[in-house]
Amino acid sequence: MKEQLLNLLAHFAGNDIEKSFPLPYCIPVYHCVSDENLPHLNQIINYKNTKQFEQDLDYLSKYFQFVNWGEFKDFINGNFTPKKKIALLTFDDGFREFYDVILPILERKGIYAVNFINPAFIDNKDLMFRSKASLIINEIEKNKSINPKIYNILKFKSDSKAELKQKILQLNYHQTEILDSLTEALGININSFLQEQQPYLSFDQLQSLTQKGFGISSHSWDHPLYNELSLSDKLKTTNKTFNYLKNNDFLYESFAFPFTDFGVEKAFFDELFKNKDLFCTFGSAGIKLDSVSKNIQRIPMETGEDAETILKKEITYYQLKGILHKNKIIRK
């Protein structure tokens, strides 16, 4: 019902996005851009192809001035006056396509971006648990029958592949051992996949991106869902990543929550911002304010829709939430 209402209202929204956009900044977030079918992502991310991505950038450029990290910081601090509202382009997870596919597009268009990475996956040393789930689901869908071992490992029985898919996608960060057992049962060799597919950026590529002026920043050590971690574990994975970035001369002034910052308590931010090097953190709740002023929300761009539709729906939703005074996330 909510989605239908937003679609209807967004359809009638005006085209003057620069005026109707309620915040002075727009921060889009993507994970990957590819014209290929990527088995480690196709079940978990609705990534765009190159044509769709370029169309997004061209649309955003009409209404926003893309800025680099220094300009973004200056703008937030009141020391930079742009010609239009600003946009900071961001990517999560450090996928190889950022170097092979996205970089040439950004260089041609003169657009800066920050890529928030997980050091555990650099040089393809490991695969994020959700990507393992994607590989497992692809393998199950390829086979006519379901291997009985799958039911035993999951402690779940269903003749429906759709229900089995949902069960696998529900496995969380703390259940990686179950995912590893499933890959073994299905004959999926994760190490071979990592070497052949090379899904993540290498350290040399990260250094090259930094030399080209792009930002490489923090996304936690190995991509947990933060509201499933204790406060001490949240701080441990975050600080470990900061130390890695600082020691390797990457951008250690920012942090983007993996998945979402939903349910993350105020105490975490209070402890985190004792780090005076940290300028801000980023969530991905769309157009929203936050009671933690240094936690800035981004707009997810991989919804299966183009930038125009996404922005109009976000603006409409913000306006509707405003009527109920629910445009700000309150941390407790």
pLDDT in tens, 116-135: 999 999 999 999 999 999 99
Does residue 152 come out as left (phi exceeding 0), alpha (psi in the -120 to 50 range) or beta?
alpha
pLDDT in tens, 265-306: 999 999 999 999 999 999 999 999 999 999 999 999 999 999
Which residues neighbour 12 within 8 Å (Cβ) at sequence distance 6 or greater? Answer: none
**CA-based nearest residue to 280, from 29, 69, 84:** 69
Task: Give residue 104's identity as a one-letter amino acid code.
Answer: P
Cα–Cα distance for residue pair 35/49, rounded to 1 Å: 5
- Does residue 6 carry a pLDDT above 80? no
Task: Give, for 157, the enclosing helix (H) or strand (E).
Answer: none
- Does residue 108 carry a pLDDT above 90? yes
Mean pLDDT value of segment 200-224 = 98
pTM of the model: 0.95
* More reliable by pLDDT, 1 or 316: 316
- Does residue 1 carry a pLDDT above 80? no
Cα 266 to chain centroid, rounded: 22
Cα–Cα distance for residue pair 69/89, rounded to 1 Å: 10
Mean pLDDT value of segment 47-65 = 98
Mean pLDDT value of segment 67-87 = 97
Identify the weakest region by mean pLDDT among 110-119, 207-216, 316-325: 316-325
- The separation between the first and the last C-alpha atoms of the chain, rounded to the nearest angstrom, is 30
pLDDT in tens, 177-195: 999 999 999 999 999 999 9
Q: What mean pLDDT value characterizes the chain?
A: 95
| pLDDT value of residue 8 | 62
* Burial class (CB within 10 angstroms; exposed 0-12, middle 13-18, buried 19+) of 71: middle
- Does residue 10 carry a pLDDT above 80? no
HEC per residue, 51-103: HHHHHHHHHHHHHEEECCHHHHHHHHCCCCCCCCEEECEEEECCECHHHHHHH
Cα–Cα distance for residue pair 84/238, rounded to 1 Å: 34
pLDDT in tens, 137-173: 999 999 888 889 999 999 988 878 999 999 999 999 9
- Does residue 211 carry a pLDDT above 70? yes
Cα–Cα distance for residue pair 225/229, rounded to 1 Å: 7
Identify the weakest region by mean pLDDT among 2-6, 53-57, 104-108, 294-298: 2-6
Partnered with residue 255 across adjacent β-strands are 218, 281
Cα–Cα distance for residue pair 103/113, rounded to 1 Å: 9
Backbone φ, ψ for residue 33 (5° rounding): -135, 125
Mean pLDDT value of segment 91-95 = 98
